[in-house]
Chain A
Amino acid sequence: MAEFFQFLMSGLTVGAVYALVALGFTLVYNASDVVNFAQGEFVMLGGMVTVFVAAAGVPLPLAALIAVVAAVAVGLLLYWLAIEPARGASAVTLIIITIGASILLRGAAQILFDKQFHKLPSFSGDTPVNLFGAAVQPQSFWVLGGTAVIVLLLYAFLERTVLGKAVLATAANRLAARLVGINTATVMALAFGGSAAIGAIAGILITPITLTSYDVGTLLALKGFAAAMLGGMGNPLGAMAGGLLLGLLEAFGAGYISSTYKDAFAFIVILVVLFAMPQGLFGRRVVERV
């Protein structure tokens, strides 16, 4: 049983990061129909900027804040300089633009920082906590707690504030939102900035466990996209469920079956789910109009 809880906790920890990346995908996709393949680079920026600012002598919490602000600035620049000028282009053109942006950000990180792996100290020590016989890193609780806080804040923002409702309205129908006086350009900028912040926080929380380097973004974007699709694109709850499920699949697959094929289980399950439910677990059915 101790083994089971060990895999459960490590699966949930990794899954929470996938879920946050998937949430970023969802936020941007709902506001603007753009699948942002640069989403993983925000996670990289969160970790790398924190590492380098902290190394310059800034206390860790302040360094983390600077990293989030930097990621948000990059997210807004991405929207204003690359997405907004290409408004009205086809979905696949916009995807290639975000791929170009992720190549650019990775290249810039290589110059600005370096090509080494970097670690942050755990937020509350390295003494493992015993949970049902499993030794759990204290940082895991930071990741899970941080994820929960982000999700609750996002929920409160979307449901309880006027600006949040404007985001939801834009996601539901952009034209109708503009007709009732919502500035959809602001909403889209907000979505890019928000998803950048979420990605950066995920990067800061996970770096003490998994390390970070200039190129961690690619794999995270891939996993986050997979999680978002598994849950059903455009559904925030689906993104969370998809991310956690993906993390658990990897952890249990690696633990009980084969660690070299851990990525295989995740993708085999995704394929099976999509064969049975072509819209993902919680996706809406789309009807094509002719």
Chain B
Amino acid sequence: MPAWFGHRSVTLIVLAAIVVVLPLLFPSSYYFRVASLVWVSAFAAIGLNILMGQAGQVSLGHAGFFGIGAYAVAIGPAHLGLPSWGALLIGAVISAASAWLVGRPILRLKGHYLAIATLGLGVLVALVITTESRWTGGPDGMSVAKLSLFGWRASGSSTWYWISGGVLVVGTWIALNLGETPTGRALRALHDSEVAARVAGIDVARFKLQAFVIAAVYASLAGSMLAMMNGFINPDQAGFLHSVELVTMVVLGGLGSVVGSIVGAAVLITLPQVLTVFQEYEHVLLGLIIIVSMIFMRDGIVPTASRWLARRVRV
């Protein structure tokens, strides 16, 4: 296999090319909408993958941060008179601050205990959003003001296609480069063995916390984008099932693989759209596809496919 094949700038160029070329194949605005949903979910999944794939820590409550970002751009303009972009930044800061605050005690937990603690946090966020209906509209959700910058208003599915696609490319670029920084190397070391990493002089707690905060900010920004794109938000976006969906994207695509998260998001977002033709069999097929692909590609789609390709090319 040629040396340039797996290089990160190649990955980035291919992704950018796909984002640019894909609209040429779109027959209707519905396709723009689905593709934007993929980009937004992929952005959140890439962030979660930094925590899960690189640092090896599970989060089953990540939709909580997604919800914080989404409701920030909903509540900020509606109740506090803030501009949307300001609310988006405030949402990201709140997500980062809360991840930092709860991260220290929570990230001491291991494996399934960490899973249940993060799950608990996610449930708490979703519960507050559902209950404080004076601010959030309760279970019915609330409408979200359109994004406007210097008098220009972002609306329409093709506009949001380009915004979300552009943000995804930037997010991918950051995530790909993170792997080569001292932080990325430290995360990989503590993924393999926390004890060994600590012996090697790595401040395990600090790097886990960094990964948690980065993942929270990714999710928060994705939530803000989705809310402004849809012009509407409801508590499901912060709920347990959405957290599980994000984790499934990461694992299905391939833990630790940035491209994998994008592929995982693409599969999990487009599959239900495609499966609607099977009507009531939709969920049965979705479950079946998840099971079968995890059995035959247990490391995820992208790592399995690239191993297969590598074997092919060598022969």
Using a CB–CB distance below 8 Å, which chain A residues touch chain B? 35, 82, 85-86, 89-93, 96-97, 99-108, 110-111, 218, 222, 225-226, 229, 233, 260-261, 263-264, 267-268, 270-271, 274-275, 278-280, 286, 288, 290
Contacts and interface: CB of A to CB of B under 8 A. Distances in A.
A278 B113 contact: yes
Contacts of B194: 288
Contacts of B80: none
* Contact residues on B (Cβ < 8 Å of other chain), bracket: 35 or more
Most buried by A among B110, B255, B287, B290: B287
A104 B287 contact: yes
A220 to B, nearest CB: 12
Interface stretch (B15-23, B68-76, B240-248): B240-248
B298 interface: yes
24 contacts: A35-B112, A82-B291, A89-B298, A92-B251, A93-B251, A97-B290, A97-B291, A99-B244, A99-B248, A99-B290, A102-B287, A104-B284, A104-B291, A107-B285, A107-B286, A107-B287, A110-B283, A111-B281, A225-B119, A226-B119, A229-B116, A264-B128, A274-B113, A278-B109
A268 B117 CA distance: 9
B131 interface: yes
B118 to A, nearest CB: 10
A108 B284 contact: yes
Contacts of B106: 271
B167 interface: no
A278 B119 contact: no
B195 A288 contact: yes
Contact of B291 (A90, A100, A226, A286): A100
B251 A96 contact: yes
A157 to B, nearest CB: 25
A221 to B, nearest CB: 10
Contacts of A271: 106, 117, 120-121
B127 interface: yes
A260 B287 CA distance: 32
Interface of B: 52, 58, 105-106, 108-113, 115-117, 119-121, 123-124, 127-128, 131, 193-196, 199, 240-241, 244, 247-248, 251-252, 255, 280-291, 294-295, 298-299
B63 to A, nearest CB: 13
B58 A92 contact: yes
A2 B186 CA distance: 58
A222 B112 contact: no
B247 A111 contact: no
B67 to A, nearest CB: 15
Among B119, B127, B193, B294, max chain A CB count under 10 A is at B294
Contacts of B286: 100, 103-104, 107
Given A107-B283, A268-B120, A275-B105, 4 more contacts: A233-B112, A264-B127, A267-B123, A271-B121
A271 to B, nearest CB: 5
SS class of chain A's interface: helix, strand, loop or mixed? helix
Nearest to B300: A93
Contacts of B247: 92, 96
Nearest to B240: A222
Given A86-B298, A104-B288, A270-B120, A280 B196 contact: no
B245 to A, nearest CB: 9
Looking at A90, A96, A279, the one whose CB has the most chain B CB atoms below 10 A away is: A96
Contacts of A261: 127, 131
Contact of B295 (A85, A275, A278): A85
B283 A106 contact: yes
A233 B109 CA distance: 13
Contact of A278 (B58, B108, B285, B294): B108
B120 A226 contact: yes
B109 A100 contact: no
A274 B109 contact: yes
Contact of B195 (A233, A263, A270, A290): A290
B113 A229 contact: yes
B116 A290 contact: no
Nearest to A271: B120
Contacts of A110: 280, 283
B294 to A, nearest CB: 5
Nearest to A260: B131
A106 B52 CA distance: 27
A188 B117 CA distance: 28
Contact of B284 (A35, A82, A107, A229): A107
Contacts of B109: 274, 278
Contacts of A290: 193, 195-196, 199
Nearest to A97: B294
A103 B105 CA distance: 33
A261 B112 CA distance: 25
Contacts of B295: 82, 85-86, 89, 97
Given A107-B281, A108-B284, A100 B116 contact: no
A178 to B, nearest CB: 22
B287 A100 contact: yes
